Structure 1
């Protein structure tokens, strides 16, 4: 084989992994890679104005497609700016590969400009953090990094490459042919499956706690069938609102249901919600089916813990249950199904407030209802960690299909806008909407110029309540630090070349959404600034219904 530069080796590795997009900001330590990318039509380079935006875009693309996405950054300042995005990707099982150009190896440890220990910085928030020791190892390390990012429970990796290696000539150690990630459709021994099925049938009041692993293994249909076979409610983990259709009788968005169970079956979870586990009775049996052994027994000891592909395990359990269910059990399960269905109908009957639909400033439920009625069932929604997204969305917004709801599972503000851009690259023919708070939007509004520059038309809806409402509702007056002074978002957006409107009257809301969607369908990004109520009593359904009921 002819010798190639380290930079060429990097790009050839990306091509062999099927990488279509690289997100980043140009830096002096990256110039050799950028010059090779400029002559590589198979990979599109997306330049952003902040590395957090690059990482969120990569995360959105990787999460939606299940394919690896690459962030290319420079030295310490550029790499450290990706931390919030990497935390989000790590919390969201997203195979984002961060590649950083480092100072020349001969100057490391001698006070070189921006010479910091980035490997240690990224180690706690990635599956793999590594610095390449010599140019000849670039292909090996990158190939390994992609395998780690994709294998088992996906997640981000960090690779640092000293800049002098990029100009060195190396002999490729193997051919750069297209490579594919591996997925092991493993399943535990049949006796374990039978034991799980027996425990589920003996339970009087089981519940299923389902997480992102269901989407990762494309096990949504298997989850639905198992829940219906067992007549067990499915409770989604935080923000996993699209695992089943919202209207499904067994899909219950209320963790308080866990307080009465005698068995909890978890599948594909991260189990970050300690408040959920405080609801689970101490004597309840626990069965876990997870992609990663790290998740087993993380919060509570499990009676049975399985590390395997959720799709394969759910299928096997369903088959075992079907063989074991006789007429007596079937009648018992039917009664349980009707009871849970009645509970779901009751919850749906109380989901909407009785009044204030035309009140100004606009109420959260009016915004969500009008948005849902305007969007098609296949539209994709990204949202941030504000009170509207965290609380009202799960109560007042229906999802119909898997992989149509994405949020920042790490609690980071700023994912929704750039995340939507990454998803739109993967889904150019679908409506993609970023529902953002005014606080989150101001952190990443430079993404507007990326949207315009690279023709990535999405709809951004700002929940403009002039506050960090997620914090404000927990405070007492004067709400120190939580009230915001906002710019004119319409003028700001228009200065980027974005179509923009502002809505203050709820009666004008739906038509404004329609106009903005039409702009995006014609290839232009649109922004809708919705003036919403800033009173903390409206922050969550709990605070609203508590204060609006007569004493």
Structure 2
């Protein structure tokens, strides 16, 4: 068996079902090793960025490793946008990188570059395998590293001659996953006591809740003490949005009362949160007078932004379980939470959708109304890749755990390929990607991939013929001096049909619901081209997020 075959055998033993990539000269032996492979499906894409985003979506929705693959130099470099996004959001992705042969290393060989150094800043571990015999050992270690503790990407550089060399017999280790456990037990009683004593506590729940599968325990703790729950930016899926204790998803465009709830809380329990800029209103949302309990699996996060009164290092689910056990039979009463009682009517008002009119072009309030209706009726997975429409989803969306995914890493174009990865992981669910035309243009070529591989993602393209997020910033911060934001678009529905997908153009609000239903019924990848006004924008009163 040669080294390339050992790579595929190792990944198969580790449970990998998909590899996403684009063919190239230094991964040809890896592709050849996949030729007769029945348990791993290779999906070829039209740009390496797509491969990384698909691996991200698959990993995000399963908790398993997502694998992408590219050849040396520019191919590997094209992966970095997706790998960086996965790093920013703690997603376990493995990037397999074909490298020039060691026999020509440091000779400025064609497309030669130091891939280890190149990927180091955006991975948990970046390494190169120099001995064919060690491929199983190091590759298995890479998978475990990506999945353990705070999950994050790893990069594995594979020189061509290391792939080609044959070895009589490879040694494989048993598959091993570390158990997530509470690391810090000593301060559990102190945390429980602070929670019991707080008059107006708030739970701030982040992506770490989903990573550790802790939603059930979080709901139990919130109910036990009647604590309202606010979720961090683009993470509403960590707590059921129809629960009476759910108090919104903070971030750009969120209900202003959510900030008020955080600012007036006398205790904040932050679970799986790294206190990002948009989830803290530029680090101003939590009062300096509030007590803070911070649970995180990553030791570096504790005390990095806010110094907690109690910092608990450990897995969110196990830590919450231990706090619940420490609390015993305590039962809080929601009527005693004065802050919650005082602010809830305001929350209800601020999360009531404006009544749309059946006009042309299509208003965002109408889109949001239909999305909520489809969510309620069809239980799809909604994927967000729309900076301008994102605040509408933040303020008015109603989602369940596992029913919503969005990238907080900043990558335009993430939505469609991530939705394809999510669809492969959830073949029995409808997956709808809500995207702007600007973001969709960056990845539109891979609608061909979706058709070829029969991945029936529905793309709701909100088409306002401009880069809406930049437009909103130029409107508010640059006195409406618009530069570089307007452009022309093709008929996206006709484009879909040319590729064998389902396409429909929607020019008025009353057409949208039936168009989505027809797209679902088609069973094909789809584009619903939703025509909007070039200045259709944020919810009433919302302002664009501007980093300073």
Q: TM-score range by the shorter chain?
A: over 0.9
The residue number in structure 2 matching 1:161 is 158
User: Structure 1 residues 436, 535: CA separation in 2 closer, same or farther (over 3 Å shift)?
Assistant: same
2-structure distance, mates of 1:82, 1:51: 5
The residue number in structure 2 matching 1:116 is 113
Are 2:149 and 1:152 aligned?
yes
Q: TM-score, normalised by structure 1?
A: 0.92
Structure 1 position 462, deviation (Å) = 0.3
Which SS does the other structure have where 2:307 is aligned? Answer: coil
The residue number in structure 2 matching 1:474 is 473
1-structure distance, mates of 2:117, 2:496: 39
Are 2:229 and 1:261 aligned?
no
**Range moving further from structure 2, 427-436 or 201-210:** 201-210
Once the two structures are superposed, residues 274-331 of structure 1 have per-residue CA deviations (whole angstroms, 9 ceiling, x without a partner) of 52631211222221111111211121112221111111111221222235x48xxx5x
CA RMSD of aligned residues (A): 1.9
The residue number in structure 2 matching 1:61 is 58
The residue number in structure 2 matching 1:408 is 407
The residue number in structure 1 matching 2:382 is 381
The residue number in structure 2 matching 1:222 is 217
User: Structure 1 residues 449, 462: CA separation in 2 closer, same or farther (over 3 Å shift)?
Assistant: same
Q: Is the 8 A contact 2:209 2:271 kept in 1?
A: yes
Which SS does the other structure have where 2:109 is aligned? Answer: coil
Structure 1 position 424, deviation (Å) = 0.9
1-structure distance, mates of 2:162, 2:9: 15
**Range moving further from structure 2, 339-348 or 252-261:** 339-348
Q: 1:188 aligns with which of 158, 176, 184?
A: 184
1-structure distance, mates of 2:27, 2:202: 51
Q: Is the 8 A contact 1:290 1:306 kept in 2?
A: yes
Q: Is the 8 A contact 1:502 1:529 kept in 2?
A: yes
The residue number in structure 1 matching 2:368 is 368
Residues 141-540 of structure 1 mapped to structure 2, 5 A cutoff: 141-175=138-172, 179-189=175-185, 191-253=186-248, 254-273=258-277, 274-275=280-281, 277-323=283-329, 325=330, 330=332, 333-337=333-337, 340=340, 343-375=343-375, 376=377, 378-389=379-390, 391-399=391-399, 401-475=400-474, 476-520=479-523, 524-535=524-535, 538-540=537-539
Aligned residues between the structures:
528
Which SS does the other structure have where 2:247 is aligned? Answer: coil
Structure 1 position 335, deviation (Å) = 2.7
Once the two structures are superposed, residues 186-209 of structure 1 have per-residue CA deviations (whole angstroms, 9 ceiling, x without a partner) of 3532x4111101112222222111
| Structure 2: unaligned runs, 5 residues or longer | 249-257
Which SS does the other structure have where 2:155 is aligned? Answer: strand
Which SS does the other structure have where 1:159 is aligned? Answer: strand
Q: Is the 8 A contact 1:258 1:280 kept in 2?
A: yes
Q: TM-score, normalised by structure 2?
A: 0.92
The residue number in structure 1 matching 2:48 is 51
Which SS does the other structure have where 2:152 is aligned? Answer: coil
Structure 1 position 378, deviation (Å) = 3.1
User: Structure 1 residues 410, 172: CA separation in 2 closer, same or farther (over 3 Å shift)?
Assistant: farther
1-structure distance, mates of 2:68, 2:443: 17
| Structure 1: unaligned runs, 5 residues or longer | 546-551
Once the two structures are superposed, residues 158-183 of structure 1 have per-residue CA deviations (whole angstroms, 9 ceiling, x without a partner) of 01011111110225452366x25332
